[in-house]
């Protein structure tokens, strides 16, 4: 067997070293080579989570991002808030109420009517204080001055759906007091802290509009439909 020269041996060793280095580079590199495994890059968002027991999250749901790894965010979708029916949501608005006038409970020359507000909405709300009230004729013209307020301590009355509160409306019988009477067509009732009124057909007969003992008085709201 022929003996190789030193230069040939060095060339063979160099070629072998280059081949081994290339193999190590292909197996261990995390760069962009085609032989490297797929990697997860920073900034990739995890899937949004939602309560699947009630179906997909609403398109208007709010999304909050939190991160435990720099550059990586986890998105959490929360359904938009809603006020469930039956919860307390502040004062009652005119559009949520129905007004009626209860039966007269006369006594000692006084006429006493309960003015009743009933919650016609699907939520609980509150009334507090005195109603506004005015008697009007068929053309809408007010009869007599605005009612006065009897002394009282206002309390907040919570009205669940379908529940009522009442305020007393009282005046001296015109035949007894000698006041000038008129027969209203309607009573306008304005809930506390509201501007819009409710119209109730008046069937309580004559009311004093001027002269002696012509004042009409109102009391604060109490729970229920009357005394």
Q: How many CB atoms lie within 10 A of CB 26?
A: 12
CATH number for the domain including 98?
2.60.40.10
Which segments in the chain show pLDDT lower than 50?
A: 8, 11, 14, 17-83, 86
Residue range of the domain that includes 205: 88-223
pLDDT digits (tens, 9 = 90+) for 38-56: 443 333 333 333 333 333 3
Q: What angle do CA 203, 222, 122 make, to 5 degrees?
A: 85
Residue 112 is assigned to a structural domain of this protein: yes
The C-alpha atoms of residue 92 and residue 88 are separated, in whole angstroms, by 10
pLDDT reported for residue 10:
54
pLDDT reported for residue 3:
52
The C-alpha atoms of residue 71 and residue 30 are separated, in whole angstroms, by 19
pLDDT reported for residue 7:
52
Residue 38 is assigned to a structural domain of this protein: no
How many separate domains does the chain show? Answer: 1
The C-alpha atoms of residue 147 and residue 214 are separated, in whole angstroms, by 10
Residue 103 is assigned to a structural domain of this protein: yes
pLDDT reported for residue 212:
78
Could you tell me which residues are beta bridge partners of residue 208? 181
Q: What is the pTM of this model?
A: 0.62
């Amino acid at each position: 067997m022929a003996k190789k020269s030193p230069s040939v041996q060095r060339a063979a060793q160099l070629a072998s070293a280059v081949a081994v280095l290339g193999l190590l580079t292909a197996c261990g590199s995390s760069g962009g080579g085609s032989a490297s495994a797929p990697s997860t890059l920073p900034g990739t968002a995890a899937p949004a989570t939602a309560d699947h027991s009630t179906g997909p999250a609403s398109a208007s749901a709010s999304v909050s991002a939190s991160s435990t790894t720099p550059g990586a965010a986890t998105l959490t979708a929360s359904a938009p808030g809603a006020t469930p029916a039956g919860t307390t949501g502040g004062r009652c608005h005119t559009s949520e109420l129905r007004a009626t006038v209860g039966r007269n409970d006369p006594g000692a020359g006084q006429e006493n009517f309960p003015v009743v507000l009933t919650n016609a909405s699907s939520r609980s709300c509150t009334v507090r204080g005195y109603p506004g009230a005015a008697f009007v004729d068929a053309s809408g013209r007010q009869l007599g001055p605005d009612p006065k307020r009897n002394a009282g301590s206002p309390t907040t009355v919570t009205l669940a759906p379908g529940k009522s509160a009442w305020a007393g409306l009282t005046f001296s019988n015109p035949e007894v007091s000698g006041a000038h009477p008129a027969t209203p067509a309607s009573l306008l009732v304005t809930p506390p802290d509201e501007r819009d009124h409710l119209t109730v057909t008046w069937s309580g007969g004559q009311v004093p509009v001027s002269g002696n003992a012509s004042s009409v008085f109102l009391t604060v709201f109490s729970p229920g439909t009357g005394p």
